[in-house]
Amino acid sequence: MKKFLQEVVTYFWIPLIMALVSYIFFQLRDVLLGIVTLVTLSAAYTLVRLYFMHRKWWLIVALVVVIFAAIGFFVIRAPAITLSINSQKVTGTSVSFATGSVSVNPAPQANGLYAKNTLVTLTANPASGYDWKGWSGTDDDSANPTTVTMNRNHQVKVTFEPRFSLIIGNQLVIGSFVSFNEGSVSVNPAPEGDGKYASGTVVTLTARSASGYDWKGWTGTDDDSANPTTVTMSKSNKDITVLFEPRFSLTVSNELVIGSSVSFNEGSVSVDPAPGDDGKYASGTKVTLTAIPSPEYGFRNWAGTTSDTSNPTTVTISNDKHVSVTFELRFLLTINNQPVTGSSANFTEGSVSVNLVPKDDGRYSKGTTVTLTAIPASGYRFARWEGDASGNATAVTVTMSSNKNITAVFKKTYSLTTKVDPAGSGSVSPGSGTYDDGAAVTLTAVSASGYRFARWEGDASGNVTAVTVTMNSDKNITAVFKKTYTLATTVNPAGSGSVSPGSGSYDDGTTVTLTAVPASGYRFDHWEGDASGNVTAATVTMSSNKNVTAVFEKTYTLTITVNPAGGGSVSPGSGSYDDGATVTLTAVAASGYHFDHWEGDASGSDTSVTVTMNSNKSVTAVFKKT
């Protein structure tokens, strides 16, 4: 036992002393506490070893004295510890740096030391042009103010980061708005009270042009071609330039263009695009002008456009533009947007013959009567006249009392061919025919008696009886039908059970598995009709109409008990029996008992009794102790 205790002290106590003292010296940095701890534990170790060697009572007394002395030292000692911020020892109520300062509350004692477990509050105060970013070594490095619990010497680090200015068009941004003669820029967010931004702030700039100007672009932003755009405030102050460009007016025949058209007695001019809300255009804008003559007038020419004889024409806005338009009294005949210049107008879908050709300038005098005849090309049909002529007759007469714009509408046609498979199994409505290009034709499959619709084949698919076909080419479609037979299922007697699945219609050759499910108080007995056997599941092949009956038998429950329990037994025991079944019960007494009589749905004192199952029965065999 003595040797065991010595080994415990040697291999446990000495490593414990070394580990504890090392922690106090190197982690807590408390030299006095480390020395006292080393002396106390070494003395205790030595006194214990001496006691085991000499067995002197005063050694135990000395051990007790050492222990209580150490406890007294720990109780009455108030260790003094230091606080440093950014390697600068705290000696007062604040510590200052080039980028800011830290307020300290409470300040340390006169010798720069704190009592152990003092809670010190630190408040970071960034200098002008800087922001507080974070701490390290505090109780909460992400809070300002934060605290430090002085349970040991503490090395705290505070980090400040620089702040930057934003300049737009040589103007220092001090609010949410910067103005210029050509426009303005809104700034979001605005800078802080010192007119600067924290590093990493993303600022959104939105340019708004003044009247007579347009925003053109930026320089120095994250995306100089976008409006709004952004600027990320990092590394240095940001110097941004915003560019605006002047806008110009357009005048047509002494009328200032302020919308999408200009009107005159002889006609009007449509303008695309229209000018902006200020009635002006950005430099370089290409404007399309279209002369629209009034009735009995025609376009003659322009002055000041890109092409004065063309209609429409264009004008490129590079300064204030002055354009004029001239109309004259004469009429134009246009067929399918093609001006008539000869005896016919030809198109892909067909042609229109003209019985009176226009004059040399391609126009007609007022009151001229022109007969037009539509001639469809192969694979097309003439549908109708539109515009300044109407009706669906192939020939129409037009009186030239104004410019006439006529459309001959031809329709591309395709053939639809329908059939059924097998023959006589059904029909398709509507049947084969010719339809316009793009027409949506809904086909409906109608099955004959003894058949069902299965699917569409050819240029249609699916198994829904109605299908829509878009006529964009010749179509061939087949409706496929299937021969069907009827399966009728019944139960006998009624209410005695069910058959799953029930009656229904099935395709020729389908194998149907029927399952008989007895109702409560019944049992399945056998199949009749087009199925046979006494297994609950039967298979029927649908090669004709089928009739199947599931026959069930009524059953009753026989419940057997003995009195007293353990007095004997009854054979057979409890069970389920068909209606009308005769059951012979035999009472068998246990050792120490004798059978006395029957009770319940049986009576008498014979050991055997017969019960007829015409309802649920409950029988008790009564035994007597002997």
Residue indicated by tokens 């002889």: 266
Give a yes or no: residue 199 inside a domain.
yes
Burial of residue 166 (number of CB atoms within 10 Å: 0-12, 13-18, 19+) = buried
Q: Are strands 88-89 and 130-136 parallel, antiparallel or unpaired?
A: unpaired
Same domain, 53 and 102: no
Give a yes or no: residue 483 inside a domain.
no
Same domain, 6 and 41: yes
Q: How far apart are CA 450 and CA 426, in angstroms?
A: 10
Relative orientation angle of helices 31-54 and 57-76, to the nearest 10 degrees: 170
Give a yes or no: residue 450 inside a domain.
no
pLDDT over threshold 90, residue 52: no
Residue ranges of alpha helices (H) inside 253-293 are none
What is the per-residue pLDDT across 503-517, written as a single tens digit (0 to 9) for each? 999 988 999 999 999
**Which helix or strand (DSSP H or E) is residue 36 part of?**
helix 31-54
Q: Are residues 29 and 153 in contact, defined by beta-carbon separation less than 8 angstroms?
A: yes
Give a yes or no: residue 104 inside a domain.
yes
Residue where a domain terminates, one of 303, 328, 353 = 328
Across 51-60, 98-107, 388-397, 566-575, least confident range: 51-60
Same domain, 145 and 183: no
pLDDT for the residue numbered 480: 96
pLDDT for the residue numbered 617: 96
74 — pLDDT class (breaks 50, 70, 90)? low
What is the per-residue pLDDT across 31-51, written as a single tens digit (0 to 9) for each? 666 677 777 777 777 777 777
Give a yes or no: residue 479 inside a domain.
no
Q: How far apart are CA 614 and CA 607, in angstroms?
A: 22
Q: Per the structure block, which two tokens stand in for 8?
A: 């415990």
Q: How far apart are CA 368 and CA 400, in angstroms?
A: 5
Q: How far apart are CA 328 and CA 114, in angstroms?
A: 105
Sign of the CA dihedral with 562 first, then 568, 572, and 573 last:
positive
In degrees rounded to 5, what are phi and psi of residue 275? Answer: -70, 170
CB atoms under 10 Å from CB of 385, counted, come to 23
pLDDT over threshold 80, residue 23: no
Same domain, 566 and 612: yes
Q: Are residues 589 and 567 in contact, defined by beta-carbon separation less than 8 angstroms?
A: yes
133 — pLDDT class (breaks 50, 70, 90)? confident
Q: Nearest-CA neighbor of 622 among 610, 103, 609, 484?
A: 609
Which residues share a beta bridge with 302? 325
Give a yes or no: residue 18 inside a domain.
yes
Q: Are residues 450 and 484 in contact, defined by beta-carbon separation less than 8 angstroms?
A: yes
Give a yes or no: residue 383 inside a domain.
no
Q: Are residues 187 and 230 in contact, defined by beta-carbon separation less than 8 angstroms?
A: no
Half-sphere exposure of 522 toward its Cβ, with a 13 Å CA cutoff?
21
Q: How many domains does the chain have?
A: 5
3-state SS assignment for residue 151: coil
Residue where a domain terminates, one of 277, 302, 328 = 328
Q: Over the Cα atoms of the chain, what is R_g?
A: 55
Q: Are residues 191 and 174 in contact, defined by beta-carbon separation less than 8 angstroms?
A: yes
- With helix as H, strand as E and coil as C, how does 110-164 read? CCCCEECCEEEEEEEEECCCEEEEEEECCCCCCCCCEEEEECCCEEEEEEEEEEE
pLDDT over threshold 90, residue 205: yes
What is the per-residue pLDDT across 424-433, written as a single tens digit (0 to 9) for each? 999 999 999 8
Which residues share a beta bridge with 559? 618
Q: Nearest-CA neighbor of 183 among 151, 231, 154, 215?
A: 215
What is the per-residue pLDDT across 206-262, written as a single tens digit (0 to 9) for each? 999 887 788 889 999 999 999 999 999 887 889 999 998 888 899 999 999 999 999
Same domain, 256 and 319: yes
Same domain, 191 and 202: yes
Q: Give me the domain span that covers residue 97.
A: 81-163
Same domain, 303 and 316: yes
Classify residue 42 by its DSSP letter: H
Torsion angle, CA of 54/60/66/68, rounded to 10 degrees? 170
Residue where a domain terminates, one of 41, 62, 77 = 77
Residues 6 or more apart whose CB falls under 8 angstroms from that of 509 comprise: 541, 542, 543
pLDDT over threshold 90, residue 164: no
What is the per-residue pLDDT across 467-476, written as a single tens digit (0 to 9) for each? 999 999 999 9
Give a yes or no: residue 444 inside a domain.
no
3-state SS assignment for residue 568: strand
pLDDT over threshold 60, residue 29: no
Q: Per the structure block, which two tokens stand in for 426?
A: 């059904």
Residue indicated by tokens 């649908």: 542
pTM: 0.37
**Which helix or strand (DSSP H or E) is residue 217 part of?**
strand 213-219
Same domain, 239 and 188: yes
Q: How far apart are CA 532 and CA 535, in angstroms?
A: 9
Same domain, 156 and 179: no
Same domain, 286 and 241: no
Average pLDDT over residues 55-74: 72
pLDDT for the residue numbered 10: 60
Which residues share a beta bridge with 354? 372
Q: How far apart are CA 397 and CA 355, in angstroms?
A: 10
